Amino acid sequence: MQEVMTAIDLEALVDGQKELNLPLQAGDVIDVPRAGSYYVGGAVEKPGSFLLKSRTTVEQAIVAAGGAKEVADWDDVRLYRLGAGGKREIATYSINAFEGGKPAPDVRQGDVIIVGKSAAKAFAYGVRDFLKFGLYSTVPIP
């Protein structure tokens, strides 16, 4: 009896490479490593760490984090990724471009996605909230 270990690219299998769909025999052991994780932060509703369960794009990662806040700068989405030699690479993307049909890059294990905050939107929504709640929440001085 000979012990053989074969690594299978699950994405390729799902994409239709039938030769990767090996028959199983009694006593075979399947080891599926834990999924990695990525982090989404900045102007999103629920920032945090998320499990990388399957193929996920930057756009889908933002949705998983509850979506962009109303003060988000849709043209300032930064993807921080460890590159060759352990050097951190930064790429900037636009949610507007994704919605216009530009493909969003896939998220990899350890990626950090930060949605920027628009100073103009923050000011405008701050004024709105002040006028909406600030005038009605004043307490009369006795």
In the prediction, which pLDDT does 60 show?
Answer: 96
Domain that holds residue 92: 37-134
Radius of gyration of the chain (CA): 23
Q: Kindly state whether residue 22 falls inside one of the protein's structural domains.
A: no
CB atoms within 10 A of CB 16: 8
User: Looking at the predicted structure, is the pLDDT value of residue 31 above 70?
Assistant: yes
Mean pLDDT, residues 105-129 taken together: 88
> pTM to 2 decimals?
0.68
Tens digits of residue pLDDT in 40-69: 999 999 999 999 988 899 999 999 999 999
Comparing C-alpha atoms, which of 23, 97, 87, 33 is closest to residue 62?
A: 97
Tell me the CATH number at 105. Answer: 3.10.560.10
User: Looking at the predicted structure, is the pLDDT value of residue 76 above 90?
Assistant: yes
The dihedral through the CA atoms of 28, 14, 98, 91 has a sign that is positive
User: Looking at the predicted structure, is the pLDDT value of residue 26 above 60?
Assistant: yes
What is the total count of domains within the chain? 1
Q: Kindly state whether residue 19 falls inside one of the protein's structural domains.
A: no
Comparing C-alpha atoms, which of 61, 56, 55, 38 is closest to residue 115?
A: 61
Q: Kindly state whether residue 77 falls inside one of the protein's structural domains.
A: yes
